[in-house]
Amino acid sequence: MKGNQLAALGCVLAGVAVALGAFAAHGLKSHVTPYALSIIEKGVQYQFWHSLALIAIGLWLYVSPQRLLKLAGGFIAFGILCFSGSLYGLALTDWRWLWPVTPIGGLSFLLGWGMAAWSLWRRVS
């Protein structure tokens, strides 16, 4: 994925996080348990922060086009899908099979952050 596409994806996912957060706070509050609402809020938080990371990595690719950065962005985007997506599904459905997907998303986040750090470390030293 190109830098501009990664940054654009980050912008879209950040907007979706805002919309989901507002929907959960106002539209779902009376329809789900407080625990389910807290799971949705956690998913929104992680989605929003990692969307900002996608924007930063996308812009970073303009300055330093590196394959490792593209991979980092891909892992972070996949992490949003798996981590936040599974939390939304778990909070709103009874699909318990989603529980193992959440840590896959967390591992994907860690790999993305690690690749981004390694890319920056190599660039500076």
The 10s digit of each residue's pLDDT in 17-76 is 999 999 999 999 889 999 999 999 999 999 999 999 999 999 999 888 999 999 999 999
Q: What is the band of 124 on the pLDDT scale with cuts at 50, 70, 90?
A: low
Number of neighbours of residue 82 by Cβ within 10 angstroms: 21
What per-residue confidence (pLDDT) applies to 95?
92
What per-residue confidence (pLDDT) applies to 123?
73
79 touches 109 (CB < 8 A)? yes
Structure confidence by residue, pLDDT tens digits, 69-117 = 999 999 999 999 999 999 999 999 989 999 999 999 999 999 999 999 9
All structural domains of the chain with their residue ranges: 3-124
Q: Which residue in this structure is represented by tokens 């996608």?
A: 54
Type of residue found at 59 = L
Report the distance separating Cα 1 and Cα 71, nearest Å. 9
Nearest to 40 by CA among 24, 19, 22: 24
